[in-house]
Homo-oligomer: A and B are copies of this chain.
């Protein structure tokens, strides 16, 4: 459980879906560095956990939209806080690492 919500891609995906529904390709482009496999895997896991809702349109070409469920929305604040802490302290951590490695 901690594993999932603490997961790197979970944090990024929930963050990306915080404000609006997005399509697969859109997410892939936004989450720089994610492979298609990892994105699919993360989304499937989040869908299974009831955090993300997956809506498939039976069109050609296919169209799939991802959004947060009610449960997923309760996670938004949490992951934003996590990201905020990361961005705000990454410098201190990098400096500590330099000191430690020396």
Contact = CB atoms under 8 A, between A and B. Distances in A.
Given A49-B96, A49-B97, A2 B71 contact: no
A83 interface: yes
As for how many copies of this chain the complex holds, the number is 2
Interface residues of A, number: 34
Interface stretch (A16-24, A58-66, A87-95): A87-95
DSSP majority for the A interface? helix
A30 to B, nearest CB: 15
A85 B6 CA distance: 11
B49 A5 contact: no
14 contacts: A2-B82, A2-B83, A2-B86, A5-B82, A5-B86, A6-B10, A48-B97, A50-B92, A50-B93, A50-B96, A74-B89, A75-B85, A78-B82, A81-B81
